Amino acid sequence: MCQLKILIMLAWRNLWRNHHRTIIMISAVTVGVWAMIFMTALMRGMVTDMVRDGIQTLPGHVQIHHPKFRDDPSVNNLMLTTATELNNKFGGIGFEAWASRIRVPAVIASERESRGVTLFGIDPAAEEPISLLADDIVEGRFLRDETDSGVVIGLKLADKLDTKLGKRIVLMSQDPSNKIADRGFRVVGIFDLDLDSHEESSVFAGRATIQKMLGIEDRVTEVVFLDGDYRNVDSLYKKISELAGPDVDVQPWYKLDKYLGMMLNMMDGFVLVWVIVIFLTLSFGLVNTLVMAVFERIREIGLMLALGMRPSNILGQIIVESLLLLVIGLTLGNAFAWMTVESLKGGIDISAVAEGMAMMGASSILHPDLQIGDVITANIVVLALGFLASLSPAWRASRYQPIEAITKV
């Protein structure tokens, strides 16, 4: 313990012999650590926002469908269980939120334009904590109940149809007998989502109203569940699979939206690669600093060896110098990264590239997401690679012969 204390004291003194070079190297490590942690937080934030927006827009955490519905999402593949029976089965389980819906392809027509859309028949009371659509209403109101005769559309869709709040539109879809089912609705609400694709393609009406329009009585096409953390849905998936039985298709969100699931999985690998790439760049400066420090102290090292210091202690001293330098840089880098992320908690406006972000499923406001696991990973990788980078100059210093080192010019 005493020997380690002496090594740390010597290493600390030697670091500040050439304080200009040490400050430059600490600054480089600090900036590098700040960059790797902050950029990781930005990428995490983008992926987290994409997943959260995607889940809150409609999918939830787990969904149930007719076994053929995902291949053919039509009214012909209704669930065999009615909405009332589903409520009896799942109503008392204690999920955070769940809802049964109708989701079918449809055509919406205004006075001037028509578009292909996805029509959702929903129960607003059950849907509100899942999709949060009620919070995104910018004009008018949300649906009052499942018998509401109005319709809620997206702001982008309203622009495409050249219609507005209070105007009448016509919705057309196909009933179970393959005949056209249509009905006139009045636009009672307009929502504005971060994801333009959903604004243009999703239309919401009362579930009972759509059931009546399609002639499907109390039947639905899907059931959606929300419970716990979206990163850990396996237990929820198993629980619902057991309750639902073998005659339905139960899927977690990352299989329903494989793009978002892939993005989440890729992020963990990206963090490690990003940290390693940044530090490999820094390691050249670190090795150079340590090598120069060794060259400047060749005679001193020779004298310490002549006085009886073991080569292993010389090796340890150089490694401790490297680790001290890294610890200072890591501490400052972590602090600056945390302060930067905290100052940007309200989000970063990237509306200048909103169209490109929308194509990826991301919103125009980016919220950095600083996770403790990413910070720990960055710190461990930096210390591990720094230790490896310091071995070469440390080994070289420990191999000097005392007489050769003392007489070296």
Residue-level pLDDT at 302: 73
Q: What is the mean pLDDT of residues 95-121?
A: 91
Q: What are phi and psi of 251, to 5 degrees?
A: -140, 140
Interatomic CA distance for residues 79 and 65, integer angstroms? 6
Please classify residue 277 by burial: count the beta carbons closer than 10 Å to its beta carbon, then call 0-12 exposed, 13-18 middle and 19+ buried: exposed
Name the pLDDT band for 289 (thresholds 50, 70, 90): low
Interatomic CA distance for residues 37 and 340, integer angstroms? 10
The neighbouring-strand residues paired with 193 are none
Distance, CA of 134 to chain centre:
24
Q: What is the pLDDT of residues 379-406, one digit of tens each?
A: 887 788 777 777 777 777 777 677 666 6
Token pair of 355, please?
Answer: 């169209």
Average pLDDT value for the chain: 81
Token pair of 60, please?
Answer: 């939830």
Helix (H) / strand (E) containing 71: none
Name the pLDDT band for 19 (thresholds 50, 70, 90): confident
> In degrees to the nearest 10, what's the CA dihedral of 347, 351, 356, 359?
70
Q: What is the mean pLDDT of residues 113-127?
A: 91
Q: Do 203 and 120 form a contact (C-beta atoms < 8 A)?
A: yes
Residue-level pLDDT at 357: 54
What is the Rg, in whole angstroms, of the alpha carbon atoms belonging to the chain?
Answer: 31
Q: What is the pLDDT of residues 61-91, one digit of tens each?
A: 889 999 999 888 888 889 888 888 888 888 8
Strand 62-65 relative to strand 222-226, pairing: antiparallel
Select the more confidently predicted residue: 13 or 58: 13
Residue-level pLDDT at 8: 77
Q: How many CA atoms lie within 13 A of 19 on its CB side?
A: 2
Strand 114-122 relative to strand 202-206, pairing: parallel
Interatomic CA distance for residues 389 and 380, integer angstroms? 14
Select the more confidently predicted residue: 235 or 46: 235
pTM for the structure as a whole: 0.67
Name the pLDDT band for 359 (thresholds 50, 70, 90): low
Look up tokens 């850990």; give the residue: 232
DSSP 260-315: HHHHHHHHHHHHHHHHHHHHHHHHHHHHHHHHHHHHHTHHHHHHHHHTT--HHHHH
Q: How far is CA 56 from CA 43, 53, 285, 308, 352, in A?
A: 20, 5, 46, 69, 24
Residue-level pLDDT at 229: 77
Token pair of 210, please?
Answer: 């759509």
Query: To the nearest whole percent, how much of the chain has pLDDT over 90?
Result: 22
Residue-level pLDDT at 358: 55
Q: What is the pLDDT of residues 298-340, one digit of tens each?
A: 677 677 777 777 777 777 777 887 788 888 888 998 999 999 9
Q: What is the mean pLDDT of residues 192-197?
A: 71
Q: Do 49 and 362 form a contact (C-beta atoms < 8 A)?
A: yes
Residue-level pLDDT at 181: 92
Token pair of 302, please?
Answer: 């020779």
Strand 97-109 relative to strand 348-349, pairing: unpaired
Does residue 51 surpass a pLDDT of 90?
no
Residue-level pLDDT at 37: 85
Interatomic CA distance for residues 348 and 365, integer angstroms? 5
Residue-level pLDDT at 408: 59
Q: What are phi and psi of 316, to 5 degrees?
A: -65, -40
Amino acid type, 379: N
Token pair of 10, please?
Answer: 């010597």
Residue-level pLDDT at 247: 84
Token pair of 114, please?
Answer: 């028509």
